[in-house]
Amino acid sequence: MPAFERPFARPLVSAFVAGLAVATAACRNGPPGGADRGADRGASFGHPANAPAFASSAVVPDEGTVKPVAQAPKAPLRIAVLGLESSQFWIPVKTGLARANRELQGRATAEWIVPGDNHTADVFGRAIDAAVAKQYDAIVTIAGDAGVAAYIDRAVRAGIPVATFNSETDTPNRRLFFVGADSYAQGKTAGALMCKLVGPNGKVGVITGFFSVEAHAARVKGFEDALKVGCPNATVVGRVENQDKADRAYQQAKDFMTAHSDLGGIIAIAGSPFGAARAIDEVGKAGKVHLITFDAVDETMDYVEKGVVDATIGQDPDAQGHDPAVRLYNYIVAGQLPPAGRLATRADVITKANAAKFRIPHS
């Protein structure tokens, strides 16, 4: 199967895909958007015939550094960026978007809009419809579940190109591209690490963010698939959702440790995992109850450096904020398209040994 047609949920062969991405770094052209679109605006503009296949995937060499093309539109563009602020993770995402706005200054404005406090279609679908009604030139949105697909397609039929970021549904739709983590591959990495930590018969608790968010479910599946391969006698003692809330993760971690005195590990899949770290730290079980988390927010990094979090896995939030707006701008004014439908961001494994290089700087 060609590299660009592999299902995104499968692990990437990094060296091969990276090399292929370099070879295809010169983006393919779609319909130019620099001209006055007017009556020509329609589905062909929102989703051109030569758009990359929905499930194709690649690692691109200009992740986080893609630049706006030199061409300028006849009038400044407005890009709606529909995001969340439910956890500290979103701080560097917004920093990346601010960087994109500086690069696009005078030519486009990417507006950060928070429709609600979860990833689902009942929140983001209405926000997409509102962005269409307000005649934004492009939309960047989270696509946490299958229900978002219909709203994306409606925007595209109105001639508005859409990109997704951070959370991606596997339900095919007409968005141009996605920027974010390969969640299944991240989960497999976490599962392999956990096997080494808890041993072949370890007991592990799973704290996810939202059961309904497909990206979170993909991480859990990748994690449990890796456990089955690496330590098939290990046991998942429970699965709970913390809804990206630190206080819930704190209580859930305590509950796991109380119910299972021989608990070997906890994985905290999504937002505010430092709540689980605090629970482990308070009972003095660092190094006994191993903890794997995601992202490099300050609170989590504090516990990594303290040795309470054994490893946390990144997803380049700055690039997730920066790249979709710039790539949409490049498509609208110059017809440029990325080489694949899903642009997988870096998944750095951060431990106490290398934590200093991954601290997120504050502006």
- Between 5 and 160, residue with greater pLDDT: 160
Q: Is 196 exposed, middle or buried (0-12, 13-18, 19+ CB in 10 A)?
A: exposed
The three-state secondary structure class of 65 is coil
- For the stretch 57-114, pLDDT in tens is 999 999 999 999 999 999 999 999 999 998 889 999 999 999 999 999 999 999 999 9
The residue assigned the tokens 């939202």 is 210
In the chain the domains, ranked by start, together with CATH numbers, are 3-180+316-345 (3.40.50.2300), 183-313 (3.40.50.2300)
**pLDDT score recorded for residue 73:** 96
Q: Of the segments 7-11, 14-18, 21-25, 211-215, which one has the largest average pLDDT value? A: 211-215
**pLDDT score recorded for residue 45:** 84
- For the stretch 108-153, pLDDT in tens is 999 999 999 888 999 999 999 999 999 999 999 999 999 999 999 9
CB of 345 closer than 8 Å to CB of 320: yes
Range 41-47 average pLDDT: 72
Q: Identify the CA nearest to 216 among candidates 199, 241, 179, 194.
A: 241
CB of 75 closer than 8 Å to CB of 334: no
Q: What are the structure tokens assigned to 188, written together?
A: 């497999």
Q: What are the structure tokens assigned to 28, written together?
A: 């393919």
Beta-bridge partners for 145: none
Q: Are strands 57-58 and 342-344 parallel, antiparallel or unpaired?
A: parallel
Q: Is 277 exposed, middle or buried (0-12, 13-18, 19+ CB in 10 A)?
A: buried
The average confidence (pLDDT) of the chain is 89
- Per-residue pLDDT for 361 more than 80? no
Range 31-51 average pLDDT: 62
The neighbour count for residue 301, using CB atoms within 10 Å, is 20
Determine what percent of the chain is predicted with pLDDT higher than 90.
83
- Give the DSSP H or E segment for 100: helix 90-103
Please tell me the distance from the alpha carbon of residue 13 to that of residue 171, in angstroms, as a whole number.
Answer: 23
Please tell me the distance from the alpha carbon of residue 155 to that of residue 143, in angstroms, as a whole number.
Answer: 14
Helix 90-103, helix 317-334: angle, nearest 10:
30
Range 283-304 average pLDDT: 96
- For the stretch 168-212, pLDDT in tens is 999 999 999 999 999 999 999 999 999 999 999 999 999 999 999
Helices (H) then strands (E): counts for the chain: 11, 15
Cα of first residue to Cα of last residue in the chain, in angstroms, is 44
Q: What are the structure tokens assigned to 271, written together?
A: 């937002």
Question: For the whole model, what pTM was predicted?
Answer: 0.86
CB of 131 closer than 8 Å to CB of 111: no
- Per-residue pLDDT for 27 more than 70? no
